[in-house]
Amino acid sequence: MNIAVVGTGYVGLVSGTCFAEMGNQVTCVDIDAGKVDSLRDGRLTIYEPGLEVYFDRGRREDRLRFTTSLAEALEEAEVVFLALPTPPAEDGSADLQYVLGVADDIGGLLAANPDWGYKVLVDKSTVPVGTSRRVTDAVEAHGLTAGEHFDVVSNPEFLREGVAVDDFMKPERVVVGTSSEKAGEVMTRLYEPFVRQGNPILLMDEESAEMTKYAANSLLAAKITFMNEIANLCERVGADVDEVRRGIGTDSRIGPKFLYAGIGFGGSCFPKDVQALHRTAREEGYSFEILDAVLRVNDEQRKSLIPRIVEALSDDGRLDGKTIGMWGLAFKPHTDDVREAPAHVLIRELTALGADVVAFDPEAVETTKATFEREPLSGDGALAYAESAYEAADGADALVVATEWPEFRRPDLTRVRRSMTGDAPLVFDGRNVFDPQDMADAGFTYHSIGRPHVP
Ligand code: NAD
């Protein structure tokens, strides 16, 4: 099939590349000319495990092309995916300017080129309930008719950064929201090769598909947040959240996933999607109490190590002259994405208190530099980058683990301890990657989330 993907970020690039791997002819469009140049030259613009092999093959066999011209991509396409940003607006709602702007452009192009034929326009972005209708209206405003010239489908994406290629190639389910039988058939034909193991393609109406995505992300965010609150309580009553996790995760009604306590969720999806659903509820006059709590608790959780670090290192509440090593910048392992990363929240707080931070991340240093160039740090402390985890710990008064990259799990602890200051150097493990007893045995003063302190 001939496919256009508009927006070549994490979702668009992975989707486009995977559709090409399945034998489709794919053209990816982006307004960022630098990004398009780089992709045309064979340089990936994101870090995503496993993507490069398919990307190289798609380009080599000319099934995967990149352009800045929407018209060029649209002309031959049977299916047009919108994988555009939907960032939070000031009031927390999803900002639809990119999606509706491109819908308007598509309407204009289709109206001017009636010989391009019927197109299925697919919302892959995470968009509030009612957006399919608004996209349809934006295209129909050019004198076109839904059902005849085009149809709009809601097809939310559930891939997880870090395992996005696997998730896309073998989705647990594909949600297709459309009231058009014709569009439903096109989508089924497109996705059938991805669900050969029997996972379902769930056809439903547009509104339910749009709500499904928000419900999924909000429930997952609530699950993590619930566990973080259990962890906070475990610390107070002397229980161990890891034991509790095993105790409840074996209950099939609960399941073992998404029960790991830590310094809160981040990323480009959970915070904004929970906010957007909360906002949708408010607009409907409904107060979605759980989401309110999830947002508040997560904000606190991301900063929860700060008072502990201050208490351990300072008498006056300031951290001037202190150096904090930080392991991890990405919002989770196996990605270079730092949007809403808890590590960034900690860096802002620590440097505001005067501390110098020396950070290491295997993939997310460049994206971090770009973020702090756009939105500079405001405190007295400085941020520097290390070439390795050991270098970040070297000379540090405390070490913070902010992302659970596998390489942080089994370091040479003797080397780390010797390189840090103090007789029993401080480690604040925001992701519970270490065993408290091992850390005590290795000579550290070790803090983690929801687990008893081992003296
Ligand atoms: P992103 O910011 O990485 O990518 C968006 C791309 O769109 C950018 O490359 C940008 O240059 C491009 N763009 C902006 N305006 C454009 C225009 N007018 N024409 C062409 N290109 C344009 O965003 P993302 O992470 O890929 O997310 C896209 C959508 O998918 C969002 O709604 C997000 O919530 C949703 N989503 C994201 C994930 C994820 O893990 N990142 C997972 C599921 C769903």
pLDDT in tens, 182-193: 999 999 999 999
Tell whether ligand 1 has an atom less than 6 A from the beta carbon of residue 416: no
State CA 344 to chain mean position distance. 14
Distance 10 CA to ligand 1 centre (A): 6
Which residue among 27, 157, 214 is best mutated to probe the pocket of ligand 1, counting the most ligand atoms within 8 A of its Cβ? 157
134 token code pair: 């608004």
Q: Does domain 214-298 have CATH number 3.10.450.350?
A: no
Q: What is the pLDDT of residues 290-322, one digit of tens each?
A: 999 999 999 999 999 999 999 999 999 999 999
Q: What is the pLDDT of residues 319-334, one digit of tens each?
A: 999 999 999 999 999 9
Same CATH fold assignment for domains 214-298 and 303-447: no
pTM over 0.80: yes
Could you tell me which CATH class the domain 303-447 is placed in? alpha beta
Amino acid 454: pLDDT: 80
Q: Does domain 2-203 have CATH number 3.40.50.300?
A: no
Share the mean pLDDT of the chain. 97
Tell whether ligand 1 has an atom less than 6 A from the beta carbon of residue 83: yes
Tell whether ligand 1 has an atom less than 6 A from the beta carbon of residue 5: no
Distance 441 CA to ligand 1 centre (A): 46
Output the CA–CA distances (angstroms, integers) from residue 97 to 68, 147, 150, 310, in the order listed: 18, 24, 21, 42
Q: What is the pLDDT of residues 35-82, one digit of tens each?
A: 999 999 999 999 999 999 999 999 999 999 999 999 999 999 999 999
Sheet with 426-429: strands ordered across: 383-385, 356-360, 323-327, 398-401, 426-429, 445-447
Q: Is the dihedral of CA 65, 70, 75, 80 positive or negative?
A: positive
Distance 98 CA to ligand 1 centre (A): 9
Q: Which residues are catalytic?
A: 269
Ranges of each domain in the chain: 2-203, 214-298, 303-447
314 token code pair: 């300072």
Dihedral pair phi/psi, residue 304, rounded to 5° = -65, -20
d(CA 377, CA 97): 29
* Interface predicted TM-score (ipTM) of this complex, two decimals: 0.99
